[in-house]
Every structure is written in structure tokens, then in C-alpha cells.
Amino acid sequence: MPDRIIAFVMAGGQGSRLQPLTAARSKPSVPFGSRYRLVDFVLSNLVNSQIRTIYLLVQYKSQSLIEHVRKAWTISPLLKDQFVTVVPPQMRYGESWFQGTADAVHQNINLVEEHAPDYVVVFGADHIYRMDIQQMVEFHKERDADATVAALPVPLEDATGFGVIAAGADGRIEAFQEKPANPSPLPDDPDSAYASMGNYVFSAKVLIEALEAAQQAGETDFGGHVLPRMLERGQRLFAYDFASNRIPGIKPYETQVYWRDVGTIDAYFSAHKDVLGGEPAFDAFNPDWPIYSSNYQGPVARVLGAHLDNALLGAASVVHENAHLANTIIRREAVIEEDVLLEDCIVMDYVRVGKGSRLKRVIIDRHNVIEPGSVIGYDRETDIARGYTVSKGGITVVPAGHPGVFARGGGYGGGYSE
């Protein structure tokens, strides 16, 4: 009999450091690349790993995420244990929203009891990566672990910004260190340390006991409370080295251990560079380990005499004559008018960029019209005066407009909207 595994995906992230992209949506529903959303990466990893009983725990500004999951993540309804379903706070133990990751799972502990799984995986929803989660489950089983934490090797000098795991040569966890001044190095690499990725595998019975104890103690978080308490009690906790994970179909030119936290505008913008170019650091095209997303039914993009230099175009986008796009990503149903220059830009769904505009290092959120002749991204103070957000790294963000900001139909501005 195969192991019974259920997954909880923590998708309630507020994403305050990604404002204004999270002004009307939760962090996991923020678009990424030319067709994805952040949540698609963890869901694809789970489905590709044959883990298909998936509960998505939502909280803040969740409607956009709920709609995306409803339209993009319907697995066969004929198979009762294969689904992705959204679970808002149930308030089973009082009138409160999720107070932390452990509290979110504890509020839904009835789902664990209902499925009676062997293992429960608890993963975040807002990172860019590929991972075969079954390999982590096998690691957990081989060591007869109570809990296993996914760990990313990082340079020692960078580890001060992470939750660090001190572990022995066999991977058994010895201590948790929160943003330590002197992080513990890896046993076999004095220049690196393990950063917790916030992804966990639990033996189901152990998890239920740990959550009940945490609830009685008023503890709400896995990383801050539950796991350190389990360690104090002498339970078997192990660090799983993410660098050992092997994914089929990875090209030689890709970053072999790719994981990006896109929690800030600058990190989000930088990660987009990794999907561009002839040999991207993260190649979205991998038939052996696909990233699934929307089943959008719009037509292909059209290019009408423009010059494209390292660009991705979403479906139903139109690029007009004499436009020049360099190192730029266009999402679906966007229109780039004549004589537009876009350098290092991200243009989201249902945006029209007016004739003769010049934009550099700009993110335009969806449902916007950029007036003809606009110049954005060249002067920080001017952009701020217009009401745009400018990041520490100098990325200008034009906040989302309103749906219907330009005419629907004809493949432009939301004719096939999702």
C-alpha cells in the first residue's frame, strides 16, 4: 500500500513588503512570469510529487486566489482523494482568524483525523522553486523521523537573515537559531549554514499530539513554537538538504539548486530576470516537471513589426509597430502601442501602454492604461509624485487600476478574463 499523504499549503500571507502588488490580493496570488501566480509553484510541486490531497489555507484578501484555484486547479472530481480545495478560517476553537502556521493547521485538525494519513506535509505558497517532495518524505521515513524540515544551504555570511538549523552529520537537528549573529555552519562545509525553508513533513500521529499540546500552551507557530518544543522533548527532528533534491528535465545551464523568496519588490523583480534569456537560470519549460497554471483560452500573442530583445509575451497580447521591448515580460491581453520603449519591465494582464511611452525598470499591475507619451522609471521623485511606489532598488510600481479600465472584447482588456 502506498503511503497516505495529505498536504496543507499556507496561502494566507499578507505580503506587506510586496505592496502595492498585494493591495487587493494575497501574496500567493501575485502574478509571476508571463502566465503564473506564486501559488502555482508549490501546487505543481505537490501534484508532480503524486501528493494530490491538498488543502489551501487562505486568509487575507483571498478572493483573487480563490478564483484562480477554482478555474486553474480542478483535478479529476471522480477521484475522491485528488483535489485542491480552499479552506478559510473555520473558527472551530473560537472567533479568531489563523494566528500562525501551527494554529492554521490545528484549526483544521479534523481534516487530518478524517483522512487518517501516514504523513502530513505543510508547505508555504510564495516561493519560486521545483522540488520532488516524495524524496523528502522518503528521507523522513528512512530516519524514522517525527518531523523533517526542508533546509537550504546558504553562505554563512547570509545566514544571519534566516532561521538557521544546526544539525549533525546525519541531519538530526540539534538547535534552531533565529537570525543568529553567529550561525552554526554545516558539519561538512564551514562556509555554509542551513536556512529553514519553512516546509515540513510530519508523521501524522506526532503532528496531532504536537498541535494539541501547542494549543493548550497558547503556541501558534511551527518554526517559533512547535518544532523547538518537540526538540526540547527529545523527539526525532531532521533537516532535509534541499540541495540533494533531484528533478528530472533540469537543463545544464539552469541553477541546479534554485529557490527564491520573492517577498520584496526588488526580490520579485530580480527573480523575473531568472526566467528570461536563451539559457534562463529557471527554465519554465520542463515537460518532465511542468509548472501548471490557468487553462486560459485566449489566442496567441501578436507582434506587428516590433523589435523584441529578450522578451516573454503572454497570450492574446498585441505589440504594435516600432515598439521596442528589451528584457521585458508581458502578461496576457496587454496592448503595447506604436513607438513604445520598454526596458526591464513587467507588464501585467489587461494593460494598455500608450503610443510613444518610455518605461524603464517598471512593474505595471493589471487593469491600467498608460497614457500616450508617458515617461516612467527615469526619475524617482517624479514617479513618487504621481502616486507610484519606488522600491529601494529603484523599481517603479504602478498600482492596479480598475477592472474594465479599457474596453472588453476582441481579445483586449479582459475579453477572456480569469
Whether 347 is covered by a domain: the verdict is yes
- pTM for the whole structure: 0.93
Residues 196 and 323 in one domain: no
Residues 192 and 312 in one domain: no
Residues 159 and 25 in one domain: yes
pLDDT, average across residues 393-417? 67
- Answer yes or no: are the C-beta atoms of 163 and 175 closer than 8 Å: no
Residues 234 and 354 in one domain: no
Whether 46 is covered by a domain: the verdict is yes
**Virtual torsion, Cα 172, 174, 179, 184, nearest 10 deg:** -90
Whether 112 is covered by a domain: the verdict is yes
End position of a domain, from candidates 244, 269, 287: 244
Residues 108 and 183 in one domain: yes
Residues 10 and 153 in one domain: yes
Whether 415 is covered by a domain: the verdict is no
For 339-395, the pLDDT digits (tens) are: 999 999 999 999 999 999 999 999 999 999 999 999 999 999 999 999 999 999 999
Residues 76 and 203 in one domain: yes
CA 385, 387, 390, 391 dihedral sign is: positive
Residue type, 247: I
Residues 327 and 235 in one domain: no
pLDDT at 295 (0 to 100): 85
End position of a domain, from candidates 244, 259, 294: 244
Residues 234 and 358 in one domain: no
- Tell me which of 19-28, 82-91, 111-120, 241-250 is least confident: 82-91
For 224-266, the pLDDT digits (tens) are: 889 999 999 999 999 999 999 999 999 999 999 999 999 999 9
CA angle at residue 274 from 301 to 336, to 5 degrees?
30
Q: Residue 351 sits in a domain of what CATH number?
A: 2.160.10.10
Whether 283 is covered by a domain: the verdict is no
Q: How far apart are CA 197 and CA 152, in angstroms?
A: 6
Whether 51 is covered by a domain: the verdict is yes
Whether 287 is covered by a domain: the verdict is no
Residues 314 and 197 in one domain: no
For 149-195, the pLDDT digits (tens) are: 999 999 999 998 889 999 999 999 999 998 888 999 998 899 999 99
Whether 329 is covered by a domain: the verdict is yes
Q: What's the domain count of the chain?
A: 2
**What is the 3-state secondary structure of 116-170?**
CCCEEEEEECCEEECCCHHHHHHHHHHCCCCEEEEEEEEEHHHHHHCEEEEECCC
Residues 232 and 120 in one domain: yes
Does residue 33 have a pLDDT over 90?
yes
End position of a domain, from candidates 244, 261, 286: 244
Which residue did the predictor score with more confidence, 1 or 417? 1
Q: Residue 40 sits in a domain of what CATH number?
A: 3.90.550.10
Residues 349 and 238 in one domain: no
* Residue span of the structural domain in which 199 resides: 5-244
